[in-house]
């Protein structure tokens, strides 16, 4: 029942007709990545992920990774072999720079590959995702010697990477970390401290693990201003590039998690381990944000990818499971897909998954424009839009991952609560994504605290204006598009009202804006999702495929009429301020202040 089918037709339509990939392929440096080449490459990638990676998903969940008495970590059966096939096929290197052995394809293409591998096995996909974040940091801030020593084998995937940020006492407050880095006579640093929640901090799939570690040098300023970033390899690297002695980093334990059991989440201990400074001292936060911004869109894709696989399973189950008799039906029983509420849950999954895919790909396309467009002004504006879309993609995408996998389980009824069906695994696995790489509350705070303030709110209001350009297009498209146009107009009005309130209120009362930041981000997620579905519905007739055009219109209309209205209902919460959030003290919240009647 739980067989993964890569949605390549949906992805190809999205690339060609919804997010304008042909224009991305015309940017300098991407001439080799035309649409036909990309579609053929993705078909091969999808075949690999479905045939090789997807079958490891259930085994990985039931076995999990295991810490051995000698301190090494074994991944579940098949992981090591499949990872070697993944490296040999070169899938991880496709969107990475050619000068280090990558394929030089756009980030947009890399994002599709991330979706395919994550749908196949989220726990497995985390290793390449973290490696890519480490690569991005080195590309931006590493000196030539570090790049030449580490990047070629990280790009191929022969060596994997990690991000070591969190410590037991610090959590999301990175500035509270205490790991020390003391400069040595040879220019290296001795790293001492403990890091927690390190994804793939140790494993048996690759010969080398390159840890990127945040630490504090002696005399560094307090807080985030005094953080530096270091490469600390599992094995030291000799001058000829071969691996040398084991470095002084040990796996203390593996976390016992709710989901993604196959992904080893390690507690790592560093005791005078040899590290190498990336960039300059006290520049670690800037480097960390390169890693995290690269990963945040990838984490948003996790919500999409796991929701896609859960949807496929729930759709198959709804067609097979017979129970009761649907209205107007005859015979002994009906498949549950014939019942309206099951249809509602399936349509909710289908519409949200499509909207998420379009939105994630749109964000990635703006990443490519921001790095490769020849016009500096266009690059700058694209970078602003990436800043707006990334927290929306990460937060809204992972919130929906939780909600849609829960709907998929609900469709299974009691069988969904039974582990053997596999429906519960999707819900357990995706739950971490809303916490990864900055919790969703942090994403909402970033949206109103940083991105909304760009050019005094003009950046986001201009983007909203761009979205509203679709209203006359819908009016010209025919009466069947009227319900979408009317509802979009109402919800754009609500979003604009909330945005202007945030712009007015935030500078003088930041707590008020932050108190409404999560519902405000949700409003953006709903509106951008509906906008992308409307774009798809308008574009679909040009394909000449009448069935596709009908399905895109129905999805956009369903979303506009049944899901999008939630946006305006959040206006009150977004603009309520902080009064009631802070009106009760801890004792009142716990009920200690309530009197018991005799």
**pLDDT value for 490:** 98
**pLDDT value for 587:** 86
Buried b (16+ CB within 10 A) or exposed e, 334-345: bbbbbbeebeeb
Residue 597 has pLDDT above 60, yes or no: no
Q: How many H-runs (helices) and E-runs (strands) does the chain carry?
A: 22, 11
Residue 211, φ and ψ in degrees, nearest 5: -85, 130
Q: Cα–Cα distance between 526 and 250 in angstroms, integer?
A: 45
How sure is the predictor about 290, in pLDDT bands with cuts at 50, 70 and 90? Answer: confident
Mean pLDDT of 254-264: 97
Residue 538 has pLDDT above 90, yes or no: yes
- Domains of the chain are 55-89+121-282 (2.40.110.20), 449-582 (no CATH)
Residue 592 has pLDDT above 80, yes or no: no
Token code pair at residue 340: 């309206």
Span 333-342, pLDDT tens digits: 999 999 999 9
Token code pair at residue 376: 């500096």
Residue 169 has pLDDT above 90, yes or no: no
Residue 2 has pLDDT above 80, yes or no: no
Instruction: Give me the catalytic one of 136, 308, 384, 437.
Output: 437
Span 362-412, pLDDT tens digits: 999 999 999 999 999 999 999 999 999 999 999 999 999 999 999 999 999
Q: Note whether 123 and 429 are within 8 A (CB).
A: yes
Residue 593 has pLDDT above 70, yes or no: no
The count of residues in the chain is: 598
Which distant-in-sequence residues (6+ apart) come within 8 Å of 276 by Cβ? 146, 188, 189, 230, 231, 232
255 is catalytic: no
**pLDDT value for 598:** 45
């Amino acid at each position: 029942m739980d067989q993964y089918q890569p949605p390549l037709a949906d992805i190809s339509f999205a690339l060609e007709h919804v997010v304008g990939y042909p224009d991305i392929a015309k940017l300098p440096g991407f001439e080799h990545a035309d649409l036909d080449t990309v579609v053929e490459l993705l078909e091969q990638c999808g075949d690999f992920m479905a045939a090789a990676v997807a079958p490891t998903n259930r085994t990985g969940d039931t076995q999990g990774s295991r810490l051995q008495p000698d301190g090494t970590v074994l991944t579940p059966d098949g992981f090591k072999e499949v990872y070697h096939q993944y490296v040999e096929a070169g899938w991880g290197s496709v969107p990475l720079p050619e000068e280090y052995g990558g394929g030089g394809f756009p980030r947009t293409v890399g994002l599709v590959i991330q979706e395919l591998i994550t749908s196949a096995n989220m726990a497995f996909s985390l290793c390449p995702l973290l490696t890519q974040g480490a690569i991005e940091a080195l590309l931006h801030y590493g000196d030539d010697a570090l790049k030449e020593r580490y990047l070629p084998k990280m790009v191929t995937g022969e060596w994997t990477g990690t991000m070591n940020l969190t410590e037991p006492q610090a959590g999301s407050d990175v500035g509270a970390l205490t790991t020390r880095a003391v400069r040595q006579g040879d220019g290296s640093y001795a790293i001492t401290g403990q890091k927690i929640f390190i994804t793939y901090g140790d494993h048996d799939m690759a010969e080398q693990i390159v840890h990127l570690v945040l630490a504090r040098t002696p005399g560094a300023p307090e807080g985030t201003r005094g953080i530096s970033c270091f490469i600390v390899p599992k094995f030291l690297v000799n001058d000829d590039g071969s691996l040398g002695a084991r470095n002084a980093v040990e796996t203390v334990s593996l976390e016992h998690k709710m989901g993604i059991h196959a992904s080893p989440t390690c507690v790592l201990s560093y005791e005078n381990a040899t590290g190498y400074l990336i960039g300059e001292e006290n520049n670690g936060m800037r480097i960390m944000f390169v890693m995290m911004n690269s990963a945040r869109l990838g984490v948003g894709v996790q919500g999409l990818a796991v929701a896609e696989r859960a949807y496929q399973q729930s759709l198959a189950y709804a067609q097979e499971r017979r129970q009761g008799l649907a209205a107007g039906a005859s015979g002994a029983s009906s498949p549950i897909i014939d019942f309206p509420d099951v249809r509602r849950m399936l349509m909710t999954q289908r519409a949200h998954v499509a909207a998420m895919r379009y939105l994630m790909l749109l964000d990635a396309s703006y990443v490519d424009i921001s790095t490769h467009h020849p016009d500096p002004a266009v690059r700058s504006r694209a970078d602003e839009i990436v800043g707006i879309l990334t927290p929306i993609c990460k937060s809204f995408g992972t919130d929906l991952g939780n909600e849609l996998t829960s709907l998929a389980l609900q469709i299974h009824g009691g069988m969904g609560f039974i582990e053997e069906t596999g429906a519960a695994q999707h819900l357990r696995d995706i739950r971490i994504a809303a916490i990864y790489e900055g919790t969703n509350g942090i994403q909402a705070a970033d949206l109103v605290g940083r991105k909304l303030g760009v050019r005094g709110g003009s950046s986001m209001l201009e983007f909203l204006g761009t979205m509203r350009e679709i209203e006359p297009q819908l009016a010209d498209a025919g009466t069947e598009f009227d319900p979408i146009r009317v509802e979009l107009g109402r919800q754009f009005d609500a979003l604009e009202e909330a945005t202007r309130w945030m712009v007015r209120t935030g500078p003088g009362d930041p707590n008020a804006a932050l108190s409404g930041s999560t519902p405000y981000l949700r409003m953006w997620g709903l509106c951008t999702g509906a906008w992308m579905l409307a774009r798809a519905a308008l574009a679909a007739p040009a394909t000449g495929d009448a069935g596709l055009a009908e399905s895109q219109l129905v999805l956009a209309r369903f979303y506009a009429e049944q899901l999008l209205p939630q946006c305006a209902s959040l206006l009150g919460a977004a603009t309520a301020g902080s009064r009631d959030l802070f009106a009760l003290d801890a004792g009142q919240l716990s009920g200690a202040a309530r009197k018991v009647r005799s």
